[in-house]
Each structure stands twice: as C-alpha cells, then as structure tokens.
Structure 1
C-alpha cells in the first residue's frame, strides 16, 4: 500500500493521469484486503474527481474506478447506488477501461445480483466475466471459479461445489497461503453448508482448525478484511455445531472491527443464521447499536415494506447514499453535483435525514450514523 501510494503521487505530479488511475485501482484492492473501506473509497473518489477535471477524452481506467466504487457501495448494502456506478462505467465504453479489468464489471454485477437474491443471474454474470478474463500483472486473489462455487453453495448445489474443490486439490488439512486464501475460505463455507444439511455426516473440527490457521496467517499479514470474513465463518461454524456461546466470541471481534468501516454485506450475505446470532449479540450487549442496525437491515431485506425499527427501517437507499456523502469533506453544492440533483433537492433529502436521525445539523448526523454503522 505504501509503495503504490508513493507511485500514485509521483504519477499525479508528473501529469501521467492514466497510469495514476490504474495504480489507484490496485491500491484500493489492497486497502480492501486491509479492511480499510473508507480509505479505499476516498482514494477512488479522489481519482474520479481528477479524471472528471481532465474532461474529454475520458482517461483510461475511469470506468474501472466506477467498478471499484460500486463494490464498496455494495458492501455498505447501497445496492441501487452500486448498480448506478456500474451503469456509469458501462456508458463510458471500453476505451475507458483496461483490457485486463473488463471482466471485473461482470464480477461486480454478479455480486449485486447475489445480494438481491437473483442467483441464476449472478451465475450468468460470472460466466460473462470468465469469458472476458485476461491475466494481468497482479495475482488473482479472488478467483472467478471460487466465486461460482460460492453461488453453488448458496443454491444448495453442494455436489457441484465439491467438484470444484476436488478439481483445485483443496483439503481442510492444507497449510494457509495468501494466494489460495479465498479458495480455502470457500472450502470452509462448503464444509459448514454440508454439516448444516446433514449434521450426522461428520464434525467441523478439521474446518475449525483450518479457519484457525487462516486467521493466524491473515492477522500476521495485516489483512483485516480477510480476518473479518474468517471471523464470520468461525462464528457460523460454531453455531452450526450448536455452540452459540463460542460463536459469539469471533462475532464480537468481527463486529468491533467492522463497525468503524461500515461493513454491512459481510453479515447480511450469511442469511438467517447470522441474523439470529446478531440478535443474540445485541441482547448480550455486544456492539448493541451496530448489531441491532444490522438486524434491522435483515428485516428490510426480507420485507422491504416492513417497519424496521428506529433507523434502519426509515432511511431509504437514496438517503443512505446522501448520508454517506455528507460524511465526506464535499460541500453541499459538490454533493448535489455528485448526485446529479439540484441544491434544493439535496436540502430536501438532508432535512428528511436529519428528522429520521433526530439531529439538527450535519456534524451530529455523521456522529449518529457512525455510531449506528451506517457510514
């Protein structure tokens, strides 16, 4: 991260904007691995502002930056805004994207489809990503084949997912390695799903041991983003084995680390087992505001028309988008331009947000939103 940050600064000073934008995408990927979602989004949005200032022709990699922002918005569960970013990138055309990055548009769309419950559409999008995939200069640490296996697991196609694991030569006894970390986490997901569908098929001891080794390696490497996922899987494994008390221990750490960065889909993507654990965590006083906010988000997903208790219920996706921009250093007119709305429309959104958060100014709204894990 330090090296790419220095390179990006040097390229910017020398006027090499195209390469600076491409470097920013790589740096954002690394920041996400570190669990630094805010820094990643800030880097991408700063780069997009520089690209906009240049005007036509649109610099190469501009579309790729919109894809990167889309993935960050998806993690915050602002799905309409995430899709909007992809459509903006698509409208810019292939000239605004590096050839080795074009598959990422479809991979990001797949993740949005998955979050919206359209698993068949998600698989179709991954198929398109596979057809476009070209090896780049950097290792692929989130392989498309493993992403497909995760969708099969969600669909209950455990035999297909096991076929993928066998083809990759994966085993719960493997030593951890960064380049296979995503694969091993996918294998752990498969093991948990198998145990859930048939608890008599065997224990999860080997899977728990694998997750312990992966956690140690990710901690040592400073990969807090991966640590968060491992903690979530440890939580689900303990819960699947009937050990709720043990499950709350990694969940408490995951909530503590995820709350400042505004993670949402990290938990929502795990479905009802995680929803139940979050309710228990809130009752036990474990990050209660954050856990309740996430629980309310589950309610909103299951029934978008339902009244979702204090705040998560009341803020629309558009208002959440505005709230996130209010948490930046952008001025009101700059936020209005970012949203393609008038200043008066922005004021209306802001007034509604303040009322729902029970605050009277921007600073208090940001503090309230941070406490609740919304920004």
Structure 2
C-alpha cells in the first residue's frame, strides 16, 4: 500500500531534540512517517520494515517498547524480536534490553544469556564498572531508558539465576539491580523486588514472598504496569491458598479486579480473566460450585486475549476440578490432558505440576497402575528428602501409597506434615491431616483417625474448607460422623456431612477405569480370589495349571497396583468387579 505524502513537521527518532525535517516521502517509508505522526507506532514500524529501513524501525521500536511491554502485547513483541538483524540490535543497548524483556515475558530464555553478555561487553569499563555514557558507535534513542540498563541487566540475570534454581544468586542479583536503579527507575525496582519474592517463594518462605510481592505490586501500579501487577496478584492468591488463608486469597483477586476496573473502566485489562479463574478455584474448595462455574464462564467470555500466558492451562485445571466435583471424571481427565499440552510456565515455581494433578485424578478413577507409572517416571519414593518445590508431588505419592495399602504412607505423611507446619503452609497441613486420618482408619486405629480429623477441622473451619473433606468419600464421611460426637465445631461438621450427602456417587466402570483392563480369564481368577479357595483349588476350578493361575494373579496385582490377594479383592470391590461384594 502506498501511503500519503507527508508535509507536516516530523521528529525523527535518533536525532537531537528539535531536529525537525519536512519529508516528502512516498511508499512504505512515507507511510511509516505518517503513521508515526498519527500516533500508531506499530504501523509505523511495519511500514519501515517493509521499506527496508531497519534503522528507522529499530528507533521506533526502542521508543515504543515500554508501552508495548506495559500492555503485555507478547505476540507483537515476539515478531519485533525476530524482525531485526542481530547486528542492528547489538549496537542499540536499550533496545537489546527491551528485547530481553520481551523474550522473558514469554519464557523464551534460550538466547537471553548471550544477549545480556553482549550488552555488558559494550557498556562495562575495563574495571567492570558501568559506563555512564554510551561509547561511540552505539545508538541510543531513549536516553532515560539508557540510565536503567545496568539495573535491568542485573534484574534479568537474577531471572536466569532463578530459572536455574540458584536462589542465593537470584537474591544477590536482585539486590544489585536495586542498588543500580536510578531515582526514576521504579519499574526495574519493582521487577527486582518481585524476583526476590519469587526466590523466597521457591525456598518455601511464603511470608517473605508475600511481603515482597505486595511491595512490588505497589511499584508496578505506580508506573502504570497494571497487567504485570495483576500477574503478581495471581501469585499472591496462590501463596494465600497454600497458607490456608482462602479469605485473603479472595481479597487479593478482588482487589486486583478493582485495580483493573479503576485503571480501565471501559476495556478489560490483560490479566483480568485470570482473576476469575483464581476466584473459581477458591469457591470450588468452599463447595460453591455454581459461583465457581460463573467465574469460569466470565473467563471464557473475556477471551484468551484478556488473560496472561498461563491462563489457558490454569482455567483448564480449575474447570477439571469442577467437572470432577460434579462426577464427570472422564471430562476432567480430558481437560487435564489439554492443560498439560498447553502448559506455559513463567518465573513462578511450578509447585503444582499438571501431571501430578492428573495422577490424583487417576487415583480417583481407580487407575492405580497409571498413577504408579507417574510416580516412577518422577523418581519419587517415600524415603526422599523433602522440599517445598516437590511437596505437592510427595503428597500425591502418599495418596498412591494409601490406595495401595502400603504402610510407608504413614511415615511419609508424618514427615510431610512436620515440614508443612514448620513452613506455615496451612492449606497443605489440612490435606495431610485428612490423609493421616484415612491412613489410621485403614489400620483400624479409630482414636488416632478421629484425632487427626479434629485437628484438620480446627484449621479448616475458619476458612470454610469443604472439598478437602468431602472428596475423600464414604471413609471420611464415617470419620466426620464419629468426630461429631466430640467436635469443638459441631455446626461445621454438620455442614460438611450435608455436603457429603450431595456428592454424586461415582462408580468407576471397572474395565474402563483401568489403563490396562483385565482379560476375561483374569476376571475369572479374580472372582475366585474373592472366595475361600486356595491357589491349587482355583487352578482346578478353572482347569488350568497352578503356574498359569499364578501368572494371571500376578497380572491382576500389577494392573491393580497391589501386592497381596487381600488387597486385590478389596480393590476389586471398590471397582465393583465382584458381583454381590461391592465395597462401601
């Protein structure tokens, strides 16, 4: 397309202020100048690139980058990064740092270290100090942004250290960035503070992470980076949920929505959709399924463009939980498979991996062999050294061991409980106490089981937890009834019992509930395992050799994820595979 001729005075980026020209340009470059004067930098850049003027395009990008990053326009920024030759970017340190930021926004870290090293080679003196003025040969259009380059480089170095699990290096680099930030460098200070908070979060210091994020949000809001502030609010909500403070999590999400509306009352801001997913997750735990569904519907109505890059997988995980709560285990599994495929990480620690969430659903569906495969692939064992980063996975492993009637479950649960209590992770403490209660119950230790339930109720009642209890099914219902007689919160227990009565009955369909279904001959063996017949008698009944019967039995054990005849029979009862012998 040929743009109009331009007769108006136009400032040319890269020239000294006041250097005005009266271009009469036709074609792409004329269109670029016209779009710049009209306040459309994206179109101006596109025309400059199409016209082959990469220098002009780079100038315009450098000036436009702050606003583009503020609005979280990742796809367009990514195209810009790919559009310029490396030699053009290398001579422009401000643009180079901006490109690093664009790559970091989409977690594309492959070239960041090399890009940062190139900037440092250009701008550091022989003694390692930063040059106050750009040396000859470099191009700087945004002089104010140049003053923040040293701090920005250290900030992105901190991000790389965090990605590599170097928490001490993350904190050291973040502090260096704070010391290098100029008086007007509020953005880089806020970002560096958030990285320090991320390091605290990764180490399990949730209180320190919360304090750092709270301060960072204020800084981001002050410079107009509201979408990034909303991203920090997601982290605040996640932290509060892990701490067991559901009310504070709701407050974080609602304050973020209020900030978004105040900032842009007529147009949803990027990140608004994510707040509704966060609220849905809390409401689900409190068993307000209808309200959770409404927030998830709002998220879908707002669309992917109003969500941050992690939104596609996060809403699938929460929607899967909603499906599971409604009894649709098949639909929940489909959504978790999709969530795993579209997962996109960010700087936040991946403390609740989608494969671990899916393994829990597999257990709920009676697919012990699939859950056991997951645990083997992750290299998990009950004797592992514990860490906050893998806590969710180890709790999932404990669930698997409980399902397999493995005595190692109790020891693992007790170690996890101690770690969670020491770290003040109240949400995890509640779940672990619930699982310990079930473990004691399976060992016929009623006193210990009810004591664990009572401890869980005391922590959970102020925040309105429901699903953590009712999702455990009939065994927990029985324990809640036993607890009611001595409970310090009888009204809460009655509320939970009422919720259990409304839970849809879920009977896995046996053959379809197992990843590797039983053969007809294995079903015949299984039926006789549920009788008083011994091995040789079962073999005679089926007219097979004793070795063949034993082979079938071993196969049944493997598919059920059990190690004894008694456990196999109990598992078969849970799956309704033994007619007339259904488990409760």
Distance 1:249 1:283 in 2: 12
- 1:285-304 to 2 correspondence within 5 Å? 285-302=487-504
* 1:183 to partner: Cα distance: 0.8
Structure 1 unaligned blocks of 5 or more:
196-202, 304-375
Q: How high is the TM-score relative to the length of structure 2? A: 0.49
Structure 2 residue aligned with 1:225, among 423, 427, 442?
Answer: 427
Partner of residue 283, structure 2: 73
Q: How high is the TM-score relative to the length of structure 1? A: 0.76
Distance 1:182 1:86 in 2: 24
SS of alignment partner, residue 173 of structure 1: coil
SS of alignment partner, residue 102 of structure 1: helix
* 1:148 to partner: Cα distance: 0.9
- 8 A contact 2:304–2:311 mirrored in 1: no
Q: Does 2:391 correspond to 1:189?
A: no
Partner of residue 115, structure 1: 325
SS of alignment partner, residue 502 of structure 2: helix
Q: Does 2:211 correspond to 1:2?
A: yes
Distance 1:289 1:297 in 2: 12
Structure 2 residue aligned with 1:154, among 364, 367, 374?
Answer: 364
SS of alignment partner, residue 30 of structure 1: helix
Partner of residue 208, structure 1: 410
Partner of residue 220, structure 2: 11
Distance 1:260 1:284 in 2: 18
Q: Does 2:449 correspond to 1:252?
A: no
Structure 2 residue aligned with 1:264, among 454, 461, 466?
Answer: 466
- 8 A contact 1:175–1:213 mirrored in 2: no
* 1:48 to partner: Cα distance: 0.9
Structure 2 residue aligned with 1:96, among 295, 301, 306?
Answer: 306
* 1:300 to partner: Cα distance: 2.5
- 8 A contact 1:67–1:85 mirrored in 2: yes
Q: Deviations over 1:103-151 (max 9, x none)?
A: 1010110011111111100000101111110121111111111111111
Q: Does 2:284 correspond to 1:82?
A: no
Distance 2:416 2:283 in 1: 27
Q: Deviations over 1:230-271 (max 9, x none)?
A: 111111111111111101122111100100001011111111
Partner of residue 248, structure 2: 39
Distance 1:214 1:301 in 2: 29
Task: Return closer, same or farther for 1:6/1:71 CA change in 2, 3 Å cut-off.
Answer: same
Please say which structure displays the higher CA radius of gyration. Answer: 2
Relative contact order, higher structure (CA 8 A, sep 6+)? 1
Q: Deviations over 1:199-229 (max 9, x none)?
A: xxxx52x211111111111111111111111
**Bigger shift: residues 252-261 or 94-103:** 94-103
Distance 1:114 1:244 in 2: 29
Distance 1:222 1:99 in 2: 30
Structure 1 stretches of at least 4 aligned residues deviating more than 2 Å after TM superposition: 9-16, 284-287, 300-303
Distance 2:443 2:431 in 1: 18
* 1:302 to partner: Cα distance: 4.8
Distance 1:81 1:71 in 2: 10
Q: Does 2:484 correspond to 1:282?
A: yes
Structure 2 unaligned blocks of 5 or more:
1-209, 506-584
SS of alignment partner, residue 169 of structure 1: coil
Partner of residue 235, structure 2: 26
Partner of residue 265, structure 2: 55
Distance 2:401 2:355 in 1: 17
- 8 A contact 2:454–2:487 mirrored in 1: no
Distance 1:35 1:285 in 2: 21
Q: Does 2:380 correspond to 1:170?
A: yes
Partner of residue 369, structure 1: none
